[in-house]
Amino acid sequence: MDRMLVVVFDNETKAYEGKKALLQLDGEGSISVYAYAVVAKHADGTASIKQGDDSGPLGTLVGTSLGSLIGLLGGPVGLAVGATAGLAAGGAADVYNAGVGEDFIDDVTKTLVPNKVAVVAEIEEDWTTPVDTRMEAIGGIVFRRALSEVQQRVHEEHVAAMKADLAQMKAEHAKAQADRKAKLHEKINQLDSKIQGQLQKAKDRREAAERKAQAKAQLLKQKADALKAKAS
C-alpha cells in the first residue's frame, strides 16, 4: 500500500539515522521508498529541507505529493527551501495535492514543533512493523496515512456543482429579457471556461498519475531483479 510517512525526531542527528534506517529497509526489500526528505522545523514556524532525494525522474514525479505535504508542515509562515530545491512546494501545497486528510496534518504538526526534525517520505509497505520497529528504536514518533482517492472525489463533486449552476443559468437565459440575457450569457461563458479548465487539470493529473505508476512499477521491477540476482 502506498503511504505518506512522517517520522518526527528530537534532533537532526536522529533524523539522519532514521533516514538511513528507512533506506536500509528499502535495500532489504521490506519497503519501497519512492521519495524522501529530511525536514527541520524552525522557531518561526517555517520548515526547511535539509536533505532530499532528487535522484531521477521518479523523485520529480513523487515530489508533487511530497512537496505539498512538506509545504503544509511548514505552517502558515511558509516554506523555506534548504539545500535541496527539487522538492520545493510553494503556494501549490495543500491537502488536495498531498493526498492526505487535514486530521493527519494536524496530528503531525502537534508533534513536529520548533526545533524538531522529521523524515518525510512516500513509501510502499505491506505491513507496518519493520518501519515502526526501526524508527521507535531510534526515538522516532511515526505517523502514516494511505494515499487516498479524496482528490478525485472532491474534483468530481466540484465539477458537478459547477455543471448544475451552468444548467440553471442556461434555463434562466432561455426565459430572460434581452438586457438580462447578455449578463447571463457572459456568466455562462465564464463558468463554462472554468469547467473546461477543471476538466483539463483532471486530465493532466490522470496522466501524471499514470506516469508515476509506471515509474513505480519500473523501480519495483529493478529492485526485484536486483534481489533475484543477489540470491542466485
pTM of the model: 0.63
pLDDT of 6 reads 94
Identity of residue 178: A
Per DSSP, the three-state class of 74 is: coil
Q: What is the mean pLDDT of the chain?
A: 77
Coil, strand or helix: which one is 93? coil
Q: How many residues does the chain have?
A: 232
Place of cell 521519495: 35
pLDDT in tens, 39-59: 898 888 777 777 655 444 334
Cell of 68: 505539498
Q: Using one digit for the tens of pLDDT, what is the confidence trace for 59-113?
A: 443 445 777 787 777 754 334 333 333 333 333 335 556 667 778 888 898 999 9
Q: How far apart are the first and last CA of the chain?
A: 28
pLDDT at 97: 61
Exposure b/e, 187-211, CB count within 10 A at least 16 = b = ebeebeeebeebeeebeeeeeeeee
CB 2 within 8 A of CB 124: yes
